Structure 1
Amino acid sequence: MSRSARLVRAVAVAAVWGLALPLALSGCDGSGPDDTGAAGVGDPYFPKAGNGGYDVRHYGLDLAYDPAGRRLSGTARLTARATEPLSAFDLDLTGMTVEEVTVEGRRASFDRDGQELTVRPGDRLDKGEIFEVTVRYAGRPETVTDPDGSEEGWLRTADGALALGEPTGSMAWFPGNHHPSDKASYDIAVTVPRGLTAVSNGELRDERTTGGRTTFTWHAAEPVASHVATLAIGRYTVTRSRTGDGLPVYVAVDPTQAAASRTALARLPEVMEWAADNFGPYPFSSTGAIVDRPRDSAYALETQNRPVFPGAPEIELLVHELAHQWFGNSVTPRTWRDMWLNEGFATYAEWLWTEDEGGPTAEETFTELYEHGEDTYEDLWDFPPARPASAAEISADPVYQRGAMVVHKIRQAVGDDAFYDLVQGWTAAHRHGNADTGDFTAYVEEQVPDQDFEPLWRDWLYGKDKPERP
């Protein structure tokens, strides 16, 4: 992500996805009383996000949006596996009116309490049981304000809407298990007035116009965390192409941004090749971008397969958001405390790109940041990257900039050859899974057993104050 009400500062395993279970965090055992799944997984910053007791395997969303009335109607079909016996379980959904819920085709009772939609199936679900829950809902989706003041959820635009989800906004437009520890595949069908385009994750499987309305059907086979699911509705200039090795590219650009975007977007295949050389094989089956107007969103976001940009992106921002496809989208943080694993690596990707383009080396960028970083990032040394001070700080400067400094310190410690082996091994070991900071530090120590990393972790990753530079 590159927040751009915070944009200036952001820019300057072993879990196999189909078997991964949402983790109970911070002492929460994943269940409530009387076989009721927990209302939240106990994330350290968003404890009510996600839910206990089940693992979503697939989302099937059938949506229709009327921009004039700002009304969204939807049917969400979730295929999930019960991880414990369940007489009731929760889904996350904020706003909207729920019209009907069924479990395994039978009507289920439900009630609402804030973001929690509690579902009570007619028959208790057994541990290990695969079940389908269907929710019919409608209304005007909400815009969600983050703890840091930025807006997400359902953003109304001049010609449609833009759905952005990090960290919790995805629950504004579909019900689900909205925490990064539970990833799933998606099928999203979106019906909009003729003349508008609906863009989402994965590949466009069908586009069909009937009676003045067009339905776009998108399929994302690889696992997606809900916060990087997206939906963009508007009048776009769409370009379809392929990279040199045949990867499908789908780019949707607001016509007002087409000319300004052309230079950076023309380099997208080059960036993809460069990133694969550095970070390992690309983990998804398509790529691309969505470019909206600057006022449509205050920040760029690494939505899976095709990141979203508020206006024409600079090449460094394009590199940052595409690097997230490896760091954040494929290897996804286990909790929101682990954001530096996303943003530190994506920011360091910018340093590497600049170095390879003949600009300042990563070492020079690191030195400048260490010696004068407070001039640009006033809060640079306020807290360590692995321990954001609060939910409002998970996208703050230390997570991005100090996170990148940690990555560079590892490179300094092990040398270039071992560093790139580490990075590519890391993305391979946790491909399509979840990982936390402890997983990462253990991985590095295991791969380079003769090196003592404890001072690096203590001073650069967890240390509150500005480290002394040897």
Structure 2
Amino acid sequence: MDQRPPARTPRRAGTAVLLLSLALLAPACTAGTGGVEGRPGASGLRDPYFPKLGNGGYDVTHYGLTLDVDPDGQTLRGTAEITARATQDLSSFNLDLVGMTVESATVEGRPAAVNRAGGELTLRPDAEVESRLHRGRTFRTVVRYSGSPRTITDSDDSEEGWLRTADGSVALGEPTGSMAWFPGNNHPSDKASYDVSVTVPEGLTAVSNGVLAGPPRTAGGRTTFRWHTAEPMASYLATLAVGRFGTRTTTMAGGIKVFTAVDPESAKASARTVARVPEVVAWEAEHFGPYPFSATGAIVERKGDAGYALETQNRPFFPGPPSIGLLVHEMAHQWFGDSVTPESWRDMWLNEGLATYAEWLWEEEKEDTPAQDSFDEAYEDDANWAFPPADPPSAADISEQPVYGRGAMVIHKIREAVDDDEEFFALLAGWTKAHRHGNASTKDFTAYVEKATGQDLTELWDDWLYGRSRPAADG
């Protein structure tokens, strides 16, 4: 998430039914016929900063969320359908969910035992279903839950999860907030496609990721909006904004759908920048490779509705009219963060350093400010030297300035090492192609750069990426 106007400063970052459904891919093998006995899926993926986020034992491939939202009461009810693949023989598995009241659960249509412990929802299927939950197989789970989604305060005091706005609500998920409004495997390493159907009072609009799957339908004073995200998406990038929006749908070159939703209070001040979304996307595609999604756009709320912008997939969220620099930054995340998603939260600088460098490139090409000038400014800023960008000291620091400014300096040093802009931009486009719609770590990136350049860049990584002191500017 980003709170960046005007300077280059870091941002931070009823009843519902959940169907967890995985297509049977391998022959059944039960303990009674010589199979391996199942074991519980891990209750966390041991992320360096959020060890309890995510769950082991399965891999989600699709979420289908059908939600009913009451903006006045700030309550939520609905249905979520999830398709996934078991990655081990399972006796039980976990979903991440905070708050809400869980009413019941079934696995493959049969009742399952449910336990709650903080943000962990543990489901244990009955013996007959468990005998089929082997690695590579699928299972269907239905979880009924209801209540008021929570606002989550992060360790850096920013707020995420479910945020009340002037005329509705917005759901923001970086790094933990998606588990406030739907159960799931809440870690960047497990990406999935999404279908989100949202019913709200007539007169309000519900905006999520992807493209509209047909026109809105109104009946009985309530309107349903259906959104489809075909490409894999990390749960922290899922969003839902409910309120009164002026919306516009167009199509840019390549058939990419452009959908913008702007709060009327922000419409005049944001009109010029929002109109440049296709221009920014096209410019970034020239530098970073083909745009990785079938839709783009923006959600612009009122000032004060949130404390930061966020690169929600397909259409970034802005808390008030964005500057062109902020739009460039969040759109660059569609390549760096959304398509190529960090393997863990320690790899956050790959998102922010590259998106910040996109701003420097825009200023260089569009505003006659050389990227070297931006580098020099960042180099002189003491805040960028608080810690190495690839090794923040705590979860509270993953969205602090070194991850942005010093991360961008690393990219500039790579550009200097390449010493040929055509080769440099080919390197960036190659990176986004190599990991398109996947996950990547810092080690993946450094290995890729060294292979692409044919250089040993150990000194560069030691000084600029991992070093704890400020190296010479020309080092």
**What TM-score range do you get, normalising by the shorter chain?**
over 0.9
Which among 418, 433, 436 is matched to residue 441 of structure 2?
436
Counterpart position of 1:321: 330
Counterpart position of 2:236: 227
Counterpart position of 1:191: 199
Counterpart position of 1:62: 66
Contact 1:96/1:140 (<8 A) preserved: yes
Gap regions ≥5 residues in structure 1? 12-17, 19-32
Gap regions ≥5 residues in structure 2? 12-21, 23-36
Letter in 1 for 2:121: L
**Is 1:182–2:190 an aligned residue pair?**
yes
Task: Please state whether the residue corresponding to 1:339 is helix, strand or coil.
Answer: helix
Counterpart position of 2:223: 214
Which among 56, 66, 71 is matched to residue 52 of structure 1?
56
Contact 2:152/2:160 (<8 A) preserved: yes
Counterpart position of 2:2: 2
Counterpart position of 2:366: 357
Counterpart position of 1:448: 453
| Cα offset, 1:469, TM superposition | 2.4
CA separation in 2, counterparts of 1:4 and 1:90? Answer: 36
Contact 1:78/1:134 (<8 A) preserved: no
Between the two proteins, the alignment pairs up a number of residues equal to: 444
Contact 1:77/1:135 (<8 A) preserved: no
| Cα offset, 1:132, TM superposition | 2.2
CA separation in 1, counterparts of 2:143 and 2:206? Answer: 22
Counterpart position of 1:387: 391
Structure 1 segments (4+ residues) deviating >6 Å: none
Counterpart position of 2:98: 94
Task: Please state whether the residue corresponding to 2:121 is helix, strand or coil.
Answer: strand
| Cα offset, 1:34, TM superposition | 6.3
Contact 2:195/2:226 (<8 A) preserved: yes
Task: Please state whether the residue corresponding to 1:189 is helix, strand or coil.
Answer: strand
Contact 1:7/1:299 (<8 A) preserved: no
**What are the within-5 Å matches in structure 2 for residues 256-295 of structure 1?**
256-295=265-304
Which among 160, 172, 178 is matched to residue 152 of structure 1?
160
CA separation in 1, counterparts of 2:255 and 2:82? Answer: 32
Which among 113, 119, 135 is matched to residue 117 of structure 2?
113
Task: Please state whether the residue corresponding to 1:87 is helix, strand or coil.
Answer: strand
Aligned CA RMSD, in angstroms, stands at 1.5
Task: Please state whether the residue corresponding to 1:240 is helix, strand or coil.
Answer: strand
Structure 1-normalised TM-score? 0.92
CA separation in 2, counterparts of 1:186 and 1:7? Answer: 35
Contact 1:5/1:150 (<8 A) preserved: no
Letter in 2 for 1:423: L
Contact 1:99/1:137 (<8 A) preserved: yes
Counterpart position of 1:421: 426
Task: Please state whether the residue corresponding to 1:88 is helix, strand or coil.
Answer: strand
Task: Please state whether the residue corresponding to 1:126 is helix, strand or coil.
Answer: coil
Letter in 1 for 2:193: S
Contact 1:165/1:230 (<8 A) preserved: yes
**Is 1:299–2:308 an aligned residue pair?**
yes
| Cα offset, 1:282, TM superposition | 0.4
**What are the within-5 Å matches in structure 2 for residues 30-49 of structure 1?**
35-49=39-53
- Deviation readout 1:384-439 (Å, 9 max, x if unpaired): 00001100000000000000000000001102122111100000000000000000
**Is 1:253–2:262 an aligned residue pair?**
yes
Q: Which moved more, 1:185-194 or 1:97-106?
A: 97-106
Contact 2:5/2:323 (<8 A) preserved: no
Contact 1:143/1:151 (<8 A) preserved: yes
**Is 1:141–2:149 an aligned residue pair?**
yes
Identity of aligned pairs, percent? 62
| Cα offset, 1:7, TM superposition | 7.7
| Cα offset, 1:8, TM superposition | 5.5
Cα separation, partners in 2 of 1:46 and 1:65, compared to 1, 3 Å: same
Contact 1:333/1:339 (<8 A) preserved: yes
Letter in 1 for 2:294: S
Contact 1:230/1:303 (<8 A) preserved: yes
CA separation in 1, counterparts of 2:111 and 2:471? Answer: 59
Which among 78, 81, 92 is matched to residue 74 of structure 1?
78
CA separation in 2, counterparts of 1:275 and 1:202? Answer: 19
Contact 1:334/1:436 (<8 A) preserved: yes
Structure 2-normalised TM-score? 0.91
| Cα offset, 1:6, TM superposition | 11
Task: Please state whether the residue corresponding to 2:140 is helix, strand or coil.
Answer: strand
- Deviation readout 1:173-217 (Å, 9 max, x if unpaired): 000000000000000000000000000000011310010000101
Letter in 2 for 1:131: F
CA separation in 2, counterparts of 1:132 and 1:203? Answer: 26
